[in-house]
Amino acid sequence: MSERIITYHEAIREALREEMEDDARVFLIGEDIAVYGGVYKLTEGFLEQFGPERVIDTPIAENAIIGAATGAALMGLRPVAEIQFADFLTCGFDPLVNMTSTIHYRWGQPVPLVVRAPAGATWAMAGPFHSQSPEAWFAQIPGLKVVIPATPADAKGLLKSAIRDPNPVIFLEQKFLYRRLKGPVPEDRGFLVPLGQAAITRPGRDLSLIAYGTMAFKCLEAAALLAAEGIEAEVVDLRTIVPWDKATVLASVARTGRALVVSEAHHTAGFGAEIAATIAEEAFDQLDAPVRRLSGLDTPIPAHPVLEAEYLPDEKKIAAAARDLAGW
């Protein structure tokens, strides 16, 4: 399968364009996505290619966007709703968690809806209203899948799988990676990455670094630093956190005997706590050290680059935590 190097941003654009070209039921709905082309220009040119009936600008009304998309999904369409920043999923929380997520359970009706949202910090002063990592809010809700890709290939393959899924998917895009990260992506239009499967992105013997999204990328950088010191860290990229690939995580921990769970969300009650608890419950006999977590701080995300850097894990902080764990 031939590949070429493209950005995380372009990979998402390709996935949207290909699914819209291949399936007339797929349409886009959201704020400023048509005429303006999206706040991050992810849908630039889509209005001209697909027309106003399939690329729909809305008012600033996330509740209405999710409600309308849910209704369209119930009528057999496959909407992809964009929420301009993941922070503002709160404005559509009621229909999403009380209605959209429960429909299939209540009467067996598929709801093939994807809600896309740029998430996470940017290392660029976005501040507390545009930098949050809200995955834990939705991970607890039965009926919602939650996807957080960390590479261009996964961004494309997972988004295509999400659009084809028969029920609601929250697709959180790491805006820090949009134009910073390039990687190989297969040219094959049929390329898919299945939901719910983690990836071992770097094998190792001394400890497991378990992460998703931007932190999976940062764990690879940390693993390179550790390798220079003779510490071989295995990096597990979850890719999907609901459902999450428990089997791959537990197998990695069984090989290495140590686990460091890394996320940029707030430390308290973040999804990393669920992973750590599962490891402690189901792999305790295979551990050579306590399970550790490294997360963002339990504060609002600062709107200053120095303070934001203090708030966030990075490759040096990850390497330091891993070094300490490897020496236990």
Which is the catalytic residue, given 104, 130, 266, 304? 130
Contact 30, 58 (CB under 8 A): yes
Residue 323 tokens, joined: 């070094």
User: Are 212 and 263 within 8 A, CB to CB?
Assistant: yes
Q: Which of 304, 316, 7 is nearest to 127 (CA)?
A: 304
**114 strand-pairing partners:** 80, 169
Is 130 catalytic? The answer is yes
Q: What angle do CA 173, 179, 183 make, to 5 degrees?
A: 85
What's the rounded Cα separation, in Å, for the pair 264 and 242?
17
Chain centre to alpha carbon of residue 183: 17
Single-letter code of the amino acid located at 9: H
Which has the closest alpha carbon to 180: 205, 155, 202?
155
Active site residues: 130
